[in-house]
Amino acid sequence: MVLREKSYYQCKLCLFNFFLMTLIQFFIQDKYYYMDAWQTAGPAAALALAVRDIIHKPLNWDRYRDLENELNQENLVEFVQNFADKYKQEIRTNLAQLTNEKSTLDVIVYDLEKAQESVDQAKREITAETLKKAYQFLEKKQAEPVSFVMEALVGLLRGMRRADTKSVELYIKKHEGFMIGVNRLDLKKMNPQYCQEHLDNLKRKYNAALNSEEFVIFLPFRTLLVQILIAGLTVQDVAKVESKIHDYQTQILNHEREIEKCELLLKSIDVKDGVKQDYELYNGQQFAFFKERQAQVEVQIKKLQVKLANFDQEFFAGL
């Protein structure tokens, strides 16, 4: 009776060893899959998982070779180096774009300086006598071309599209007050939509009429309006180019940081004991497929835990 029980337990032990050796084979085929199962659910669940795979599928040596090619250190080094090279190429592209934008900025800044000089010259043309004549003209009658010029000009001084007749009257009543408003105008705060709209209206509707002898007194105001509009649009162009330059500089800085991460990872691969630790050091999109694969395995393990929780007891109980 004792010998029979001893033989029975020896038979169970042999069977356990057989499955354990088979599990080791599967470690070679897909080691992380079963190692994760072992760590998550314990050796019994990992063994049960291996038994299930033995029953349903043979060893897939092609898959084993693909897995080894995917995770070996040489390929990982090449993979990371490719991303570093890609970032270096993007830096070269950004530097070329940055050079072009800086050249464009130099031209626009020069144009802005000229526009500001033209504004200053137009201001000097608005004398106290000129302003008085314009005020007296508008007291007697209203004409659409001159009303547009004065309403648009005063509107810009007040930060709006166009001023009303009352506001125009108040602004041009005294030369000193009018010039204070003009000198306080901040070109950077002007609405570029208003500027372009006023320029278009002058060109399409009012320039021809303003050139007539009747409205000659308002030509200095038209000149001031046009120069302010041009200067305002030029300031906006400067801001756009400066924004592009800042964006390119930020991209270059980000690429340089990514290259530093790649270089750090490349140095760590030679001294680390396993590829899994190497790619986990670099928490970037480059290794998203590794993490995705790991997440898929974890989902599979959680589903199998319910089915395989008592698999080892049920299996050996029937022997």
**231 and 96 belong to one structural domain:** yes
Q: How far apart are CA 151 and CA 138, in angstroms?
A: 12
**182 and 297 belong to one structural domain:** no
**169 and 223 belong to one structural domain:** yes
Q: How far apart are CA 71 and CA 269, in angstroms?
A: 12
Domain count for the chain: 2
Residue 205 maps to a domain: yes
- Among 256, 278, 302, which residue terminates a domain? 256
- Average pLDDT, integer, range 229-250: 93
- Please indicate whether residue 97 or residue 288 has the higher confidence score (pLDDT): 97
Residue 112 maps to a domain: yes
User: Are residues 223 and 190 in contact, defined by beta-carbon separation less than 8 angstroms?
Assistant: no
**106 and 154 belong to one structural domain:** yes
**DSSP state at residue 202:** I
The two tokens of residue 83 are 């991303």
**252 and 119 belong to one structural domain:** yes
**130 and 232 belong to one structural domain:** yes
Angstrom distances, CA of residue 246 to CA of 94, 101, 105, 151? 11, 10, 12, 37
**109 and 221 belong to one structural domain:** yes
Residue 69 maps to a domain: no
Q: How far apart are CA 146 and CA 219, in angstroms?
A: 9
Type of residue found at 297:
V
**99 and 57 belong to one structural domain:** no
3-state secondary structure of 40: helix
Domain hosting residue 136, numbered range: 86-256
- Average pLDDT, integer, range 151-177: 89
Type of residue found at 204:
R
pTM here is 0.58
What is the average pLDDT value for the chain, to the nearest integer?
Answer: 75
Report how many helices (DSSP H) and strands (DSSP E) the chain contains, helices first: 14, 0
**230 and 312 belong to one structural domain:** no
Chain segment 275-319, per-residue pLDDT in tens:
444 444 554 555 565 566 566 656 666 666 655 556 555 555 555
- Among 211, 239, 256, which residue terminates a domain? 256
Residue 36 maps to a domain: yes
**229 and 290 belong to one structural domain:** no
- Quickly list H helices, 141-273: 144-157, 165-171, 175-183, 192-201, 207-210, 219-269
Residue 51 maps to a domain: yes
Contacts of 109 (CB under 8 A, 6+ apart): 238
Chain segment 181-222, per-residue pLDDT in tens:
899 989 888 999 999 999 999 998 888 888 888 888 889 999
Residue 207 maps to a domain: yes
Residue 214 maps to a domain: yes
Residue 157 maps to a domain: yes
**114 and 22 belong to one structural domain:** no
